[in-house]
Structure 1
Amino acid sequence: MENDLIKYISNLSNYKRYSSLLRDEYLSEIPKLIYDNLKTYFNETEKQDVDWDEFKGFVLMNHPNLNDSKVKSFVAYVNKLIESGNEVENFVIKNLSTRHYADRIADTAFSVSTGDAEMSDVADLLREYNLEVKGVEWDLASLNLSENEMFHELQDLKNTKKYSWSIPELELMMGPISKGDFIILAARPDGGKTTLLSAQAVNWCKQLEDDECVLWCNNEEAGNRVRLRQIQAGLSWTTEEVMFDVKKSI
C-alpha cells in the first residue's frame, strides 16, 4: 500500500490534495524520505509529475550525508517504483478521496456552526463525494419523507407479520423479527449458537401458517450434529434421552 500511496502523490495535483492526509508514523523509512522531499522537488522543478530517475539524483544531492545503506535502500526502492509502473490500486484512491472529503466536510460543518457556511455547502460536498468515489449522485432532498409517507411506512411496519423469540430477554431487547430481517449471531466455538437457533427455529415454526416452513441452511458443522440439536429443541430432550431411544425421537 505504501508504494501505491507514493506513486499516487507523485503527481502534483494529487500531492496538493492528499499529502496533508498522510501521517508520518504510517510510513516506513524510505517512503517517508521520498514523501519529505516531494514538496521541495515540485517547488524547484515545477513539474507536474515526478521523474523518478531525476528524483533519485535530486534527493541524493540534497542529502549528501545519507549513509551507504540508506542510499542503497532508497535507490532500490525508487527503481522498484519505476519497474512497477504507474498503476495504483483502486482501493487506495478511494480511501484517500474519502478521507479528503471527510476532512472538507468536517471543516465545512464547523463553519456552519460558526455561521460562516450553510448546510447546503455540506450537501454539495456529499454530492461531490458520491459522484467521485461511488460514481452515483444522490439527491439528498429526495431522501426526506413527508409526514404522510412516514405515516404509511410506519403503518406498514406495524402491520408486518412478526415472529416472537422464545426467550423473554431477546424479545424485550430486540423485539419480534419479521421476514427480511438479517441477524448475525456470533460466539466462540461450542458457545451454543446452534442450540439457540434450533430452539428459536422450533419456536418460529409454531407461529407459521400450515403452508410455511423454516429453511435451515448449514455451512460447516456436521449435519447429524445439527439435526441432533434440532430434535432436542423440538422434543425438549437431552442428548442422553435422544440416544436412549433414537427411533422414538424421530
Structure 2
Amino acid sequence: MALDITLLQVLKHRKDYERLHRVVNSRSIDARTKVVLKDFGRYFDQADECQVIPVTGEFLTWFSMVAHRSLTEDDLTIYRKLFEQVEADPSPETKSMLVSSLLEADLAVKLADAVAAYEEEQEVDLPSVLRQTIEQFDMDVVRKVKLPLVEAGDDLFDDDTNNTGFRWRWSCLNLHMRPLRPGDFGILAGRPDKGKSTAVADNITFMASQLEEVYGEGHGRSILWLNNEGPGSRILKRCVQSALGLPTSKLVALKEQGKLWSEYASVIGGDIHRIKVFNIHGMKSWQVEEILRQVKPGLVIFDMIDNVNFDGAVINGGQRTDQLLEGMYQWARELAVRFECPIIATSQISAEGDGLAYPTLAMLKDSKTGKQGTADFIVTIGAKNEPGFENLRFIGCTKNKLAMEGQAQSPKAEMIFDGPAGRYVEG
C-alpha cells in the first residue's frame, strides 16, 4: 500500500500525471488506488487550471458529492484517511524510486502474461516477446529516471574540428560527405547485379584499418557484414579480393605461397577477423540484435534489411510493404544509435531506375518515402544499358545530410567497375 500512496502523492501533480499515468499497470495497484487514479484524470479534465489536486479539499468534496454519491460512510472514512496521507509530497528520492518500481511492476505483469500464454499453447514467440518486453523496460527506465540529457559544451564540436570518422576509399564520396561516425545510418542502393556487394567490400576493407582512429586503441570492435542474400563464403572472398585489389588467380597464387592471409591482415589493420561475415538467413530481428550484443560492432553492413524477419513495432500498425519496410529501416537506424556505430544498409533500386545513371530519391524498391526518411544518406550506383557502358558506374547521392560545407549534395561521379579485382576505379 505504501507504493500506492506514493503513486497518488506524485500523480496528484498534473505534469507528473500526464507523464506517468500511462505506465501504471492497473493490475499492480490496489482497487481503491485504481479508483482514485482514474478520478485524478477526470478531475484534471474538468479543472483546466488545476496543477495540483487539493486532495483533502475540493477534490474530496467532488469525490464524495459528485463522482461517488453512493459511497457508504465506512467507505468514505477509508478514502478520507487515504487522502490525508496523499496530501503530503514524497521526497525526490522516493519519487525516483516510485518510477522505477512502477516500471518493474508493469514488467512483472507483462512477463507473467507472456508465460501464461505460452503455457496455454497460444501462438506466441516467447523468446521474442520476453526480449522485447525487457528491452522496453530498460528503455523506459533510462528515459523516465536517468533523463538522457545531451550536454552543451565545446566538445560537442570535437568531431567536426578533428574531422573524425570512417573515410571512404572513393574520393568522390569523401569530397561530398563528412566521414561516417557512430549513429550514422545510410543506404547504398543499386539495380541487381550491378556491383553493390563489390562497392561495399571495396569501401569497408579500406575502413577496417581506421577502427583505432575512430574508436581508439583497445576498442575491441569489428566490422560486421550481416548477410541474408547469397552464401557468406562468397562475401568473404569478395572482401579478400577487394582488400588486395587482385583477381582470383592471383589470390590463389598467394594462398599457395602461404602469403594470402598475412597480406590480407596487413591491409585491413593486422587481424584477418576484423571483418566478420554472419549469415542471418531466416533470422528474426531480435536474433540479429543478439549478434550485435555479442560481437561489439564498429561498423555494420545490412545486406539486406528487407529480408530480415522483422518482429518489432511497425509505424501506425501498418501492414503494407512500405510501412513494414519503414519500421524495419527505423529499427536499423535506432541500432546505429544504441550500439554507437555507423550502419549501412544495401537496397535495390526499382525497375523505374533501370538504365539510369542517377536514379531519383523515390526509386528505392518498394518504398517512395519510408526507407528514404530513415536515412542520413543514400548513395546510388547507376548503370546504363547501352553498349560500351557495361563497366561504367555512376555514383550519386539522392540524400545527403552529411554533405560537406560548400560542396554539392551529390558527387555525380563516373567510376569504372573492375569486377575481377573487386574494386571501383575512379575516372
TM-score (normalised: structure 2): 0.25
Q: Which has the larger radius of gyration?
A: 1
Q: Which has the higher helix share?
A: 1
Tell me: higher relative CO, structure 1 or 2? Use CA pairs within 8 A at least 6 residues apart. 2
Q: Which has the higher strand share?
A: 2
TM-score (normalised: structure 1): 0.41
